[in-house]
Amino acid sequence: MVKEIIYIHTSTGYLATHFFNSEQAYFKYDHDGNEKETNSEVDPDISFKEGLAADGTSTYTPRAVIVDYKSRFGSLSHINALQSGQEAVPEAMDPIWSGSVAEYRQAAIPQSSYHAKLDAGEDDLEDIEMEAVVSDDLTSKVRFWSDFSRVFFQPRGLLRIPDPGEWEREPAWQRGAERYKELDDDAAIMDNVFRLFAEECDQLQGLQISLDAPSMGAFTIQLLTQIRDEYAKLPILSFCSLSPFDPSRIELDETAACISALNDVLTLHELASLTSVTVPLQHPSTWKRGLWSSHINADFRKQYHSSAVLSAHIESATLPLRLKATMPSSSDIASYCAHLNWRGDTPFSALSGAFPLPVAPTDIPKYTYDFTHPTSLHKVYLDTESFITLLTLETFAQKDVFRGCNATERASTEKWISEAYPELRPPFHSMAYLDQPFPIPTSYPQFFKNLGPTGRPEKRSQRRVHSVPVYSSLQTTPRTAGLARSYAEFTDNVGRRGFGLMNDLNVEREFVKEVSETWWGWVGSYGGEEDKEDERGEDE
């Protein structure tokens, strides 16, 4: 029996679009557009349900709820998302008012150039060796995340929030909760959206969520709280995008930065009790280039590029959740999260990986990047001796996924890992090797350097990359003690001196103190040393 996943994306439309485009790439279609076969490893029914397109043909749509501000949906219709790309225009009605009426209608957003090419049947690009013309065009012309979507969405799963006024600053914590109530009053999210998706599932294995903490943290917490009230034991795996602000380097009078950082702190704190495992993701502006990005000529300031990199690792790290039950590496969200948080007091895991996967196993550490733990936090909050100790401590749990490896590469990788990292052993460490590399559809940016069509190194290659071997990993590691400590100290500081900040966020001081104590507890859970309360100073 299929064990389905429902996906929720709040203010992470770019990430969702790349993710579902990758999932759709596993389908194979005939010349009439009918699905004829799927990849032998992936079970599409886990993430997709069958539906009808505008012309009556069968198509698959993601089991997805996407929440975002109205202006970010672009030309994607709320009413007819599955049937067309334009909003339905209401027919004229007999008005009660007998006088003249002046009607003002906002101009429709034109179709994206990429969708125009898809409609014109120019997507034979999958079978053509070509230059990076199409994706170059996308990079310069993507206006909204819907511009490069290759899938139809169920209309009920697209939830639009009114755009904030120009006078509004960074959203207060309570304002996020109010926005959820306003949308729920209008859309009845549980009754008309989530429950319908859940009832369509034969055996719902859980939720996979991605959210943006600064803009949608409090909103997502309210949504998950309501889901938890009715589905108390439902496994939930979440990926939380954080603000660009380092709490160790901002002052309390930097209001906007502090509000964003405190939204991060509060969101992660609440997610810990609402989800099975949460994976914090550092803002792309904090990423440090190195060997890991040597084959990627990406502009991380563009969401179209940065979300493509994150999506590749999230899709790969969670791919065992979508494999056919007959696959040896097949898993589900419940067992995945239970493995990562087997201790019960380590709710946060880390995402890392190499994209593309190096040919030589010994190069894997050099090309692996950690998207959860900025090195600066470790150096700031741990002295040299403690820092070295943490780096040499065994991980609590680790799940590695290697994609696109042939038999020879798999054997050499397994041999090297067993010799170089003997502490990585079952049951705390698991490895999945999948033949299927990460697919690169025409919607994906062609920002690769010196890679051939199959994602292998090829000097001065100008050919389009169709797939890439990838290594992605989810880890529960002592390194998170550094991250937890930075949030604990920042929250301490806010609780003692940030009265104006707490007022702006509309949160009580006692709540902030409670949050601080919890973060200090997590410092200890991950192997760091907790500060004594008297060493933190008295409340002012």
Q: What is the pLDDT of residues 423-443, one digit of tens each?
A: 777 788 899 999 999 999 999
pLDDT of residue 132: 45
425 & 472 share domain: yes
248 & 359 share domain: no
Mean pLDDT of 532-539: 51
d(CA 148, CA 145): 6
> Of 275, 309, 339, at which residue does a domain stop?
339
386 & 245 share domain: no
317 & 422 share domain: no
Would residue 108 count as lying in a domain?
no
CATH number for the domain that contains residue 21? 3.40.50.1440
> Of 339, 364, 396, at which residue does a domain stop?
339
Would residue 531 count as lying in a domain?
no
Output the six-digit token pair for 169.
Answer: 């600053």
475 & 487 share domain: no
Output the six-digit token pair for 179.
Answer: 């926005």
Which residue from 243, 391, 239, 254 is spatially nearest to 316, judged by alpha carbons? Answer: 239
Per-residue model confidence as pLDDT tens digits over 247-261: 888 888 888 898 899
pLDDT of residue 381: 42
Would residue 533 count as lying in a domain?
no
**148 Ramachandran zone, left/alpha/beta (phi>0; psi -120 to 50):** alpha
Identity (one letter) of the amino acid at 215? S
d(CA 178, CA 185): 11
510 & 466 share domain: no
Output the six-digit token pair for 409.
Answer: 């590469």
Overall number of domains in the chain? 3
pLDDT of residue 389: 46
Burial class (CB in 10 A: 0-12, 13-18, 19+), 55: exposed
pLDDT of residue 167: 62
Per-residue model confidence as pLDDT tens digits over 271-311: 999 999 999 999 999 999 999 999 999 999 999 999 999 99
Across the chain, mean pLDDT equals: 84
194 Cβ contact partners less than 8 Å away, ≥ 6 residues apart:
6, 65, 227
Would residue 96 count as lying in a domain?
no
> Of 339, 372, 392, at which residue does a domain stop?
339
381 & 303 share domain: no
Domain of residue 132 covers 4-83+119-339
Cβ atoms 212, 241 nearer than 8 A: yes
405 Cβ contact partners less than 8 Å away, ≥ 6 residues apart:
357, 413, 433, 434, 435, 469
Output the six-digit token pair for 438.
Answer: 């990460």
Q: What percent of the chain has pLDDT over 70?
A: 81
170 & 181 share domain: yes
What H or E segment, with its residue span, contains residue 296? none
Strand residues in 227-332 grouped as ranges (E) = 236-241, 277-281
368 & 507 share domain: no
110 Cβ contact partners less than 8 Å away, ≥ 6 residues apart:
75
Would residue 264 count as lying in a domain?
yes
Q: What is the DSSP string of 164-232?
A: PPTT--SPPHHHHHHHHHHHHHHH-IIIIIIHHHHHT-SSEEEEEEEEEHHHHHHHHHHHHHHHHHH-T
Q: Which residue has the tokens 């917490």?
A: 221
SS3 content of the chain, % helix, strand, coil (to 5): 40, 15, 40
263 & 281 share domain: yes
Would residue 539 count as lying in a domain?
no
Would residue 226 count as lying in a domain?
yes
Q: Which residue has the tokens 């969200």?
A: 333
323 & 351 share domain: no
289 & 409 share domain: no
pLDDT of residue 126: 47
Output the six-digit token pair for 449.
Answer: 């350097």
Whole-model pTM?
A: 0.90
Would residue 102 count as lying in a domain?
no
CA trace torsion 68, 238, 43, 309 (10° rounding): 70
pLDDT of residue 419: 82
